[in-house]
Structure 1
Amino acid sequence: MSERWRAIGVLAVALFAVNVVARLVTRFGFDGDDTTAADRVSLGMFVVIGLVLAAVAFVWGRRRPVAAWGADLAAAVGIALLLTVLVGPLLVGQNPFGGGAGTFFAQIWLYLAATGVGVLLGYLLLTALGLDYRSQSLKRYAELRATKPRRVVRR
């Protein structure tokens, strides 16, 4: 059980670290008034988060059924989302609710959209290649049934 929570924690911290790096690049790399650069860095952050989750879904989907790794992924994304929205702005000296309710909820929806697309792409690629847990189980079952010796009939 501790291995499961360790994997969830490591993934949540990794997703949060991507956000922190993006916030620090935006704060120290560009002027405070340059919203175009901040938007590009945010877009890059969402792409990186989506790619990380696509890779994790691909790897975890090979080893375990969807119900097992899906819950772990949802927990990691939820923890990372809370850290990103509530703690991330504090690290760069901003108020999490400083931009208003619209900005606060827009961050949540964009984060959930990026993570959802990433997980979906990773799992769809895994399924299309036939490497997911279910496809491999069905393949093993078919091979087992095909190699079973014929039953001898007495006459």
Structure 2
Amino acid sequence: MARRWRDIGVLAGLLFAVNVVARLIIHFGFDGDDTAADRVSLGMFVLIGVILAVLAFVWGRRRPLGEWSADVAGTVLVAMLLTVLVGPLLVGDSPFAGGAGTFFAQIWLYLGAALAGTLVGYLVATALGLDHRSQGLKRYAELKAAKPRKVVRR
């Protein structure tokens, strides 16, 4: 159980670090250039989606969907709260500096990128037959095919 919480904490920290790096790049490199800032933000959301896609692919192979999806949901929730509430403070802004629309847009974009990445990773694993359930069904089919059929006498 301790390892499970450690994995969640490390992943949330990694997702938050991606956001911090993107914010620092925008703050120091492109201050005032909205087009470049939008591109860096888009890159950040794509990177978050890719990280979660790889994670869903790897965890989907090892553990049942119900077990790892709760971990990913908790991780995304913690990382999103850190990103939206703490991230702006690191570059000297207020979380609500852009108004309520910007605040909630960040939440929806983050959740959208996380959901899309997780779905892509798990669907690729499922399509390739590498997810936990498919592997269990494959083992069951191999076990049933290996046993000779019993002859019933009448």
TM-score (norm 1): 0.96
Deviating above 6 A after TM superposition, structure 1's stretches of 4 or more consecutive aligned residues are none
Aligned: 1:13 with 2:13: yes
Give me the CA root mean square deviation. Answer: 1.0
Aligned: 1:102 with 2:101: yes
Aligned to 2:115: 116
Q: Cα distance, 1:153 vs. partner?
A: 4.6
Q: Deviations over 1:61-100 (max 9, x none)?
A: 0000100000000000000000000000000110001111
- Sequence identity percentage: 73
The CA distance in 2 between the partners of 1:103 and 1:143, in whole Å, is 54
Q: Deviations over 1:110-137 (max 9, x none)?
A: 0000001000100110001000000000
The CA distance in 2 between the partners of 1:120 and 1:113, in whole Å, is 10
Aligned to 1:65: 64
The CA distance in 2 between the partners of 1:78 and 1:13, in whole Å, is 12
The CA distance in 1 between the partners of 2:12 and 2:63, in whole Å, is 19
TM-score (norm 2): 0.97
* Alignment map for 1:10-89 (pairs within 5 Å): 10-30=10-30, 32-89=31-88
The amino acid across from 2:70 in the alignment is: A
The amino acid across from 1:26 in the alignment is: I
In structure 2, stretches of 5+ residues that fail to align are: none
SS in 2 for 1:93: coil
The CA distance in 1 between the partners of 2:5 and 2:113, in whole Å, is 23
Q: Cα distance, 1:149 vs. partner?
A: 2.6
In structure 1, stretches of 5+ residues that fail to align are: none
The CA distance in 2 between the partners of 1:48 and 1:146, in whole Å, is 43
How many residue pairs are counted as aligned between the two chains? 154
